[in-house]
Amino acid sequence: MTSNKKNYTAPLTVLTSLFFMWGFLTCLNDIMIPHLKGIFDLNYTQSMLIQFVFFAAYFICSVPSGKLVKAVGYKTGIIIGLLIAAAGAGLFYPSASMQSYNLFLAGFFILAAGITLLQVAANPFVAILGTPETSSSRLNLTQAFNSLGTTVAPLFGHWLILSVITESMTPLAKAEAVQVPYLLLAAALVILAVLIGFFKLPTISGGSADGDERTDDGFDKLHKSAWAYKHLYLGVIAIFAYVGAEVAIGSFLILFFEDPNIAGISHAAGAKYVSIFWGGAMIGRFYGAIWLSDKGSKSRKYVTSAVVSVGAFLVGWYLTKDIALGAVFWGFSTANLIAFQFGKNDPYRTLGVFSFCTVALVLITVVVSGPFAMWSILAVGFFNSIMFPTIFTLGVKKLGRHTPQGSGALCVGIVGGALVPLASGAVADAVNIQLSFLVPAACYLYITFYAFVGSKIEAA
């Protein structure tokens, strides 16, 4: 596979803003779940309907989104996706006024439908803009800014939603606390759509950008459909497992931390620790952009990693307001960097090492209590970091002209974010939250299989 040398810095910068925005919107669900659970007096399973309808949109809309992108192009698909997401965010205003949980759920679905279209258009766009050898590194870099959005979102939710809630407020007043934040988000999405409309993005055709010549070793010409590739549909299951596990964990963090046997902290305080979870993913993705790239010497990579490491300490310190806890966050960051060395710059091996680490951390969370359980589950964020971009790039590898179809198929797997949290909620209601983490542990076991075996099976 070959590609002409072109500078795609400007379009990658524009696409990075999209990754930030949909990460931000998705992670706000972690704030809305305990907030709406209290307003509508929901049990764990009912509160997980938020994630169910949100991620069910990926299952329903991914394949149509792939067809739409193929018909109208990547740029137009991105603009339409932003406007649909804006409509979903705007629906939160009447949902709060009418105090209707069902209308809130409809808003979550429409918002996610727009984000689905963004995912289907933007992920393969990033993979294609540059050499295929560095596609995993490139997608990790843009996903790092997605994680920046997920890190900032809980702080935004804490500041504009949870911090203004008091026990004396009526349920209606508590519901209306979300109106202004989501109207602001709707306006931001519309503005971003207008700006992208005026920006010139490269044209994509046949799995390449602006006429770059690429030949996927003829594999894309041997098969009439992307579904002929085993590594693709096994990758769909891996995306299902990854998104489901990550969303299930993120959804339960605040509720888990309020348990007196774990941390015994309030929802508002717990929101800051949700930022720690997603902040770990952000740091890990910056490491991934460095170590999964074939550019730069080892010494340069170590120097760049040292800068990211210092940033990790500052992020941990800022989010916890405690220098000792900042050092704990930095310690997990260092462990994450060591794990990259075991990965040996190979995306297959790195994915396997990371999924094994997540299994171990989740099992530790299940069997211990107190701060140790809290920090072991927070550390999972670091090792979640490279999973989505790495699974995605391995899944679309060698699809060529079938790349849009493959991208849509992989995004179908994001429905795991709907079903796995629901299963975890059922376990939490039947037993307790701590044992519900066994469901994500099983998901990470499958990802380990995909890393070492499933991703290397190319065609049926």
pLDDT tens digit sequence for 399-449 = 777 777 787 788 888 889 999 999 999 999 999 999 999 999 999 999 999
Q: What is the pLDDT of residue 346?
A: 87
Report residue 147's pLDDT band, with 50, 70 and 90 as the boundaries. confident
Residue 64 lies in a domain: yes
Burial 2-14 (b: 16+ CB within 10 A, else e): ebeeeebeebbeb
Q: Summarize the confidence of residues 249-274 as an average pLDDT.
A: 90
Among 192, 141, 150, CA closest to 8:
141
Q: Is residue 214 part of a domain?
A: no
* Mean pLDDT of all residues belonging to the chain: 86
Question: d(Cα 64, Cα 117) in Å, to the nearest integer?
Answer: 9
Mean pLDDT of 117-130: 77
Q: What is the pLDDT of residue 231?
A: 83
User: How far apart are alpha carbons 451 and 460 in whole angstroms?
Assistant: 18
Whether residue 216 lies inside any domain: the answer is no
- Whether the CB-CB separation of 203 and 210 falls below 8 Å is answered with yes
With pLDDT > 90 as the criterion, what percentage of the chain qualifies? 50
> What is the rounded distance in angstroms from the CA atom of residue 406 to the CA atom of residue 402?
6
What's the confidence (pLDDT) of residue 458? 62
User: Is the residue at 269 inside a domain?
Assistant: yes
Average of per-residue pLDDT across 83-111: 96
Give whole-number Cα distances, 443 to 178, 417, 424, 453, in Å: 33, 12, 12, 16
Which residue type, as a one-letter code, is found at position 278?
W
The DSSP line for 367-416 is: H--HHHHHHHHHHHHHHHTTHHHHHHHHHHTT-GGGHHHHHHHHHHGGGH
| pLDDT tier at 2, thresholds 50, 70, 90 | very low
Residue 132 pLDDT > 70, yes or no? no
Identify the CA nearest to 183 among candidates 155, 161, 151.
161
- Confidence at 134, pLDDT banded by 50, 70, 90: low
- Residue range 6-51, pLDDT digits in tens: 667 777 788 888 889 988 998 899 889 988 998 999 998 899 999 9
Q: Does residue 250 lie within any of the structural domains?
A: yes
Q: Is residue 215 domain-resident?
A: no
Write phi, then psi, for 209 (nearest 5 degrees): -110, 135
Q: What percent of the chain has pLDDT over 70?
A: 90
Residue owning tokens 């949109």? 57
pLDDT of residue 209: 54
Which domain range does residue 16 map to?
9-208+223-456
Amino acid at 423: A
pLDDT for res 220: 54
3-state helix, strand, coil in the chain (%, to 5): 80, 0, 20
Residues 6+ apart with CB under 8 A from 192: 17, 18, 21, 82
Dist. CA 253–CA 454, nearest whole Å: 31
Give the torsion through C-alpha atoms of 242, 245, 246, 252, to 10 deg.
170
Is residue 1 helix, strand or coil? coil
Number of domains forming the structure of the chain: 1
- 252 pLDDT band, cuts 50/70/90, is very high
Model pTM score: 0.79
Give mean pLDDT, residues 325-344: 94
User: Within 10 A of 184 (CB to CB), how many other CB atoms are there?
Assistant: 13
pLDDT band for position 167 (50/70/90)?
Answer: confident
How buried is 392 (Cβ within 10 angstroms: 0-12 exposed, 13-18 middle, 19+ buried)? buried
190 pLDDT band (50/70/90 cuts)? very high
CA distance 161 to 181: 8
User: Residue 113: pLDDT band by 50, 70, 90 thresholds?
Assistant: very high
Q: Could you tell me the pLDDT band of residue 1, with boundaries at 50, 70 and 90?
A: very low
Phi–psi pair at 200, nearest 5 degrees: -90, 115
pLDDT higher than 60, residue 212: no
So what's the pLDDT on residue 225?
Answer: 65
Write phi, then psi, for 253 (nearest 5 degrees): -60, -55
291 phi/psi in degrees, rounded to 5: -90, -15
| Tokens describing residue 401 | 């002209």
- With respect to residue 217, please indicate whether it lies within any of the assigned structural domains: no
Q: Which has the minimum average pLDDT: 97-101, 203-207, 343-347? A: 203-207
pLDDT value of residue 224: 64
Q: d(Cα 117, Cα 299) in Å, to the nearest integer?
A: 40
Distance CA 373, CA 365 (A): 5
Cα atoms in the Cβ-side hemisphere of radius 13 Å centred on 114: 28
pLDDT over 90 at 354, yes or no: yes
Q: What is the pLDDT of residue 135?
A: 66
Does residue 72 or residue 208 have the better pLDDT?
A: 72
| C-alpha–C-alpha distance, residues 53 and 107, integer Å | 9
Compute the average pLDDT of residues 229-234: 84
pLDDT digits (tens, 9 = 90+) for 272-324: 898 899 999 999 988 988 888 767 788 889 999 999 999 999 999 988 889 99
- Model confidence band, residue 227 (pLDDT cutoffs 50, 70, 90): low
165's torsion region: left (phi>0), alpha (psi -120 to 50) or beta? beta
Looking up residue 358, the CATH number of its domain turns out to be 1.20.1250.20
Is residue 242 pLDDT above 50, yes or no? yes
Q: Is residue 2 part of a domain?
A: no
Residue 125, both tokens: 């766009």
